[in-house]
């Protein structure tokens, strides 16, 4: 199993550009999450999904959109990139957080907006 | 929403010193507890987890953590650190049986001096 994969690893955007961060998992997990990590701030939840077709906002959703058309994929969309979105983005998945299951993380995407 | 506090933001130790990192959470109900480690340039990996039973949990690489319900704490310990333990450590909490989300602390950066 590849686990959780993310592409791209690095990206530089200009202000106002848009892009999609890809995330895929091959563990048949129902729950998927997007976090951003800023220095000294820990992980902040952007969006999460409890299954295909179902998404919900996390703590910092503004400026982002998600979709979940399949169990495997959970892309994160930035429509109008802003410098405040410079961060490292991590995707994670979990079988069922209500049960005895932890999260598995992808390798991250480092995004710089100039 | 939950809050998770990690009071030690940056810890510097010499090799062979003992380590204890604090973690406190705010939720009064039943919780699942996790410690993750992030080595430089890598993604988060699970160190250990607590769901129920013995409050002293042993994880990988000689780490252990103790759940003290009365103190809402889940402190991470290691008797003798190594240079390779240099990393960022995150505590995370999930509301057992009800929570879709995981809540992370802001992290503790550990530097071990050879």
| Per-residue pLDDT tens over the stretch B37-87 | 999 888 899 999 999 899 999 999 999 999 999 999 999 999 999 999 999
What is the reported pLDDT for A100?
Answer: 72
Residue B8 pLDDT more than 80? yes
The pLDDT of residue B97 is above 80: no
Of all residues in chain B, the one with the smallest CA distance to A89 is B43
- For chain A, residues with pLDDT lower than 70 are 98-99
Return the pLDDT at B42: 87
Contacts with A, B 69-108, CB within 8 Å: 90, 92, 94, 96-102, 104-107
- Residues A23 and A73: beta-carbon distance below 8 Å: yes
How is residue A114 written in tokens?
């100039």
With an 8 Å Cβ cutoff, the interface of chain A facing chain B consists of: 31, 33, 35, 40-43, 45, 48, 50, 56, 58-59, 90, 92, 94, 97-98, 100, 102-108
Tokens of A67: 């979709």
Contact B111/A at CB under 8 A: no
Predicted confidence (pLDDT) at residue B92 exceeds the cutoff of 80:
yes
Question: So what's the pLDDT on residue B1?
Answer: 66
Core vs surface per residue B14-26: b (16+ CB within 10 A) or e: eeeeebebebbbe
Tokens of A5: 């994969």
């Amino acid at each position: 199993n590849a686990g959780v994969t993310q592409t791209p690893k690095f990206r530089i955007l200009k202000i106002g550009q848009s892009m999609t961060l890809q995330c895929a998992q091959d563990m048949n997990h129902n729950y998927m999450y997007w976090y951003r990590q800023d220095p000294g701030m820990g992980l902040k939840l952007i969006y999460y999904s409890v299954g295909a077709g179902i998404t919900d906002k996390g703590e910092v959703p503004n400026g982002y959109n998600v979709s979940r058309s399949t169990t495997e994929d959970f892309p994160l969309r930035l429509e109008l990139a802003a410098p405040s979105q410079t961060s490292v983005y991590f995707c994670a998945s979990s079988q069922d957080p209500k049960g005895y299951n932890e999260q598995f993380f992808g390798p991250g995407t480092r995004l710089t907006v100039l | 929403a939950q809050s998770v506090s990690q009071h030690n933001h940056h810890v510097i130790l010499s090799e062979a010193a003992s380590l204890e990192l604090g973690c406190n959470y705010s939720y009064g109900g039943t919780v699942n507890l996790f410690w993750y480690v992030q080595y430089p340039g890598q993604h988060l990996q699970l160190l250990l987890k607590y769901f129920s039973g013995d409050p002293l949990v042993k994880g990988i690489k000689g780490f252990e953590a103790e759940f003290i319900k009365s103190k809402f704490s889940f402190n991470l310990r290691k008797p003798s650190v190594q240079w390779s333990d240099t990393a960022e450590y995150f505590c995370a909490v999930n509301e057992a049986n009800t929570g879709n989300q995981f809540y992370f602390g802001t992290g503790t950066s550990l530097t071990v001096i050879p």
